[in-house]
């Protein structure tokens, strides 16, 4: 009788263990399936992603941090100099609202930035939508856009691998004796639907979910390190 009871308890424990294992497997499969579905929605341009990259640098005191912050703002608004970051890097060029190259001033709302990724592929354009320049914080925001008039004859086609709802905010700020820099991406989805994508739908998808997906961490890590003086660019 004792052996029977002991065997029954062992069987119950084993059964519970097996059932729990099955539940865990099913839940794991559900998670995998949900992730796959989400990625499919992203590829279709139906799902958006948010990203954020940052670096910080600590100074001995607030005075030295304040002095360094002045240089951080100069670096932030000196967009063309971003092209000089070491290693594999994108090319950044600032244009005014009429599509003329700008080299002697900071970005303004309505300006354009041309971005050329390393390797083969089409150029990408964003427009400046917001700027803040305060005592201890500076930032500007860009969103994908058509190219300015002199550079295109198609004003509907967004010349970027992300859709026009996406945005990138480049920010530097001082908090006491610390400098912080951010690239904040919002509403990122492949630009592969309708007139907005033009004839770039496939290329945009490949860049957004392929090359750029792996490269952006490297690109924005370098940039945010540069903005807080942990890395320098060739000017």
Residues 141 and 137: their CA atoms lie apart, in Å, by 13
Residues 180 and 72: their CA atoms lie apart, in Å, by 9
**pLDDT of 69 over the 60 cut:** yes
Could you report the per-residue pLDDT of 183-218, keeping only the tens digit for each?
A: 999 999 999 998 888 888 999 999 888 777 778 999
State whether the Cα torsion 99-223-88-141 is positive or negative.
negative
State whether the Cα torsion 97-98-100-104 is positive or negative.
negative
Could you tell me the pLDDT band of residue 115, with boundaries at 50, 70 and 90?
very high
**pLDDT of 120 over the 60 cut:** yes
DSSP string covering 213-233? HHHHHHHHHHHHHHHTTSS--
**pLDDT of 28 over the 70 cut:** no
pLDDT of residue 56: 98
DSSP 198: T
**pLDDT of 29 over the 60 cut:** no
**pLDDT of 42 over the 80 cut:** no
Q: Are 106 and 74 in contact (CB under 8 A)?
A: no
Q: Are 89 and 118 in contact (CB under 8 A)?
A: yes
Residues 34 and 28: their CA atoms lie apart, in Å, by 10
Classify domain 48-227 by CATH architecture: 2-Layer Sandwich (3.30)
Domain boundaries along the sequence of the chain: 1-43, 48-227
Beta bridge partners, 26, equal none
Could you tell me the pLDDT band of residue 80, with boundaries at 50, 70 and 90?
very high
Q: Are 106 and 94 in contact (CB under 8 A)?
A: no
Q: Extract the tokens encoding 80.
A: 């063309």
Q: Are 188 and 51 in contact (CB under 8 A)?
A: yes
């Amino acid at each position: 009788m004792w052996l029977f009871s002991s065997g029954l308890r062992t069987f119950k424990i084993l059964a519970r263990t097996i059932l729990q294992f099955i539940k865990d497997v099913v839940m794991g499969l559900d998670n995998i399936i949900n992730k796959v579905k989400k990625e499919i929605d992203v590829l279709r341009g139906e799902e958006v992603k948010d990203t954020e990259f940052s670096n910080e640098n600590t100074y001995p005191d607030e005075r030295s941090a304040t002095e360094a912050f002045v240089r951080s703002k100069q670096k932030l608004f000196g967009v063309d100099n971003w092209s000089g970051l070491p290693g594999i890097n994108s090319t950044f060029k600032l244009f005014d609202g009429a599509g003329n190259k700008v080299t002697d001033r900071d970005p303004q709302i309505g300006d354009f930035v041309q971005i050329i990724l390393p390797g083969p592929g089409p150029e990408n354009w964003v427009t400046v939508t917001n700027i803040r320049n305060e005592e201890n914080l500076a930032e500007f925001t860009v969103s994908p856009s058509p190219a300015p008039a002199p550079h295109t004859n198609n004003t509907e086609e967004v010349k970027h691998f992300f859709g026009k709802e996406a945005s990138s905010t480049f920010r530097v700020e001082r908090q006491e004796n610390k400098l912080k820099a951010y690239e904040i991406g919002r509403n990122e989805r492949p630009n592969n639907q309708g007139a907005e994508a033009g004839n770039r739908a496939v290329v945009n998808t490949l860049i957004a979910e392929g090359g750029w997906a792996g490269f952006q961490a490297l690109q924005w890590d370098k940039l945010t390190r540069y903005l807080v003086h942990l890395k320098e660019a060739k000017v």
